[in-house]
A and B are shown apart, each in its own frame.
Chain A
Amino acid sequence: MSGKQFFIDRYAKLGWKYRKPRLKQAIRINSTNTKTVPILDRLYHRGLKLEKIAFLESGYWIRKPKFSIGATSEYLLGLYSIQEAAAQIPVSLFTSLKNQKVLDSCAAPGGKTTQLADLMDNTGVIVALDVDRRRLTALTNHLERCHVRNTVVYDLDAREVNRLNLNFNHVLCDMPCSGNFATDEKWFQRRTIEDVKRNARLQREILTSTVQVLEYDGEIVYSTCSLEPEENELNIDWAIRELHVRVESIEAYGDDGLINVFGQNLDPSIARCRRIWPGQTQGFFVCKLRKGGSA
């Protein structure tokens, strides 16, 4: 079960008609390292046309750049990062990050880790995990470029996070996932439903381990760049029942999470999740979970 038509039919059953996305490149100002107005002025004088992204605090669309925005001095000096607009949402959903202990469970290549450090103003602690040596190198390069000072990186699978003997107030689970066609031209040729199911199982394992190291009443932000409900709403429905987390209300860009998937009714609180179908951003799914208690 694979191929373009197979997945497009699935999306139609979920209420979305396939259309080719028109992705816009985006950056995020690293506000710990620079003030917004001067950096916007500097980029303007370099010839970059920027447009504020309405649903983000520090995000800007780049309009038709005539040169690589990853090669300016301002980028190399860590004054801004290149980060897709939807990917900037998850970290922005945490409340009061300063001086907190935060787990970034699948951290590489580090865009969201540097965003966490920025919102924490380099206070508190971020424990960042990943497993692939090449991805860890990319992560540590990002940390150095963005002047991050509050992060410790471990070469550790998130499913084994309990080996650190640490607990956290906040956990970011930006899951390894099947991705989506908006950022990968050959996605439809590459992916099968078996891949999706395999990733969904891995995500449940990671979520189980990270909930165990989360303090009572602590927050988890769960995100994927997959459009497949197995990796999104169905996993959250499972987590509500099995891991005793509840879905928090969030104010974020996107549609409500699906509460009926291919005829299966899910917990109504899943409507509080956000599902972003591809358009000017990539496809994305995000929600905020809280450990324990009732909704």
Chain B
Amino acid sequence: MIEEIYDFTKLFGANLSLDEDPVLKKRDRYFFIDNALEKLPGNFVYAGVFLGKTVKSKFSPGFELLRMIAGTEANRVVVDGRTEWLFVCGRDIFKQGIIRILGSGRKGDHVLVMNDHLECLGYGIIVVDLDKVQRGLAVQNILDVGDFLRREEEE
């Protein structure tokens, strides 16, 4: 059950270790439930830490899982303030907005996007080898915390 989460984690070159016992799959959603919560009735709609969900056979992470991955040696780019703002508005990242690259900067790899406080804003896919360009499109936005606002608007 937990393999889907580990497979996703590996996309970032990270090794995340989770106890399997507290991970619960409820319909298509994964939750990490600690000791105090696990004795409660199981017919909940949400519990503990939301790790992610499977949408059309594809795993889509929760933001807490991204934060957990960010705490490991995962691929990360740190972006400047203007790029942070554009990224949470759903935009892609240009090379000139990247302040630091931690881990792989290879084209095709997944990368977490961090602000200059090292808080995880979301993730994307590197679209060009980052060490070979100075300008232009660098990371394609896959998911960002602006999603919370977009969800509110959908409601």
Residues of A at under 8 Å CB distance from B?
42, 70-71, 73, 76-77, 123-125, 127, 134, 136-141, 143-145, 147, 149-155, 164-166
Interface string of B75-117 (1 = CB under 8 A from A): 0000000001100100000000000000000000000000101
Q: In whole Å, how far is A25's beta carbon from the nearest beta carbon of chain B?
A: 17
- A73 with B46, Cβ < 8 A, contacts A125-B36, A144-B62 known: no
- A137: chain B residues within 8 A (beta carbon): 151, 155
- A140: chain B residues within 8 A (beta carbon): 45-46, 50
Residue B149 lies at the interface, judged by CB distance under 8 Å to chain A: yes
- A153 touching B88, Cβ below 8 Å: no
Q: Closest residue to A139 on the B side, CB-wise? A: B46
Interface string of B131-155 (1 = CB under 8 A from A): 0000000000000011011011001
Q: Would you mind naming 30 contact pairs between A and B with Cβ atoms under 8 Å apart? A: A71-B146, A73-B85, A73-B115, A76-B146, A76-B148, A125-B37, A125-B40, A134-B155, A136-B46, A137-B151, A138-B152, A138-B155, A139-B46, A140-B45, A140-B50, A141-B148, A143-B50, A144-B50, A144-B62, A144-B148, A145-B145, A150-B34, A151-B47, A152-B40, A152-B44, A152-B47, A153-B44, A154-B44, A154-B45, A155-B45
Q: Give chain B's interface secondary structure class.
A: mixed
Interface string of B6-49 (1 = CB under 8 A from A): 00000000000000000000000000001011001101111111
- B36: chain A residues within 8 A (beta carbon): 123-125, 150
Residue B129 lies at the interface, judged by CB distance under 8 Å to chain A: no
Q: How far is the CA of A134 from the CA of B67 in the complex (A)?
A: 26
Interface string of B47-64 (1 = CB under 8 A from A): 111100000000000111
- B43: chain A residues within 8 A (beta carbon): 154
- A152 with B37, Cβ < 8 A, contacts A76-B145, A77-B119, A140-B45 known: yes
- B45 touching A136, Cβ below 8 Å: yes
Q: How far is the CA of A40 from the CA of B17 in the complex (A)?
A: 35
Contact of B37 among A70, A139, A145, A150 (CB under 8 A): A150
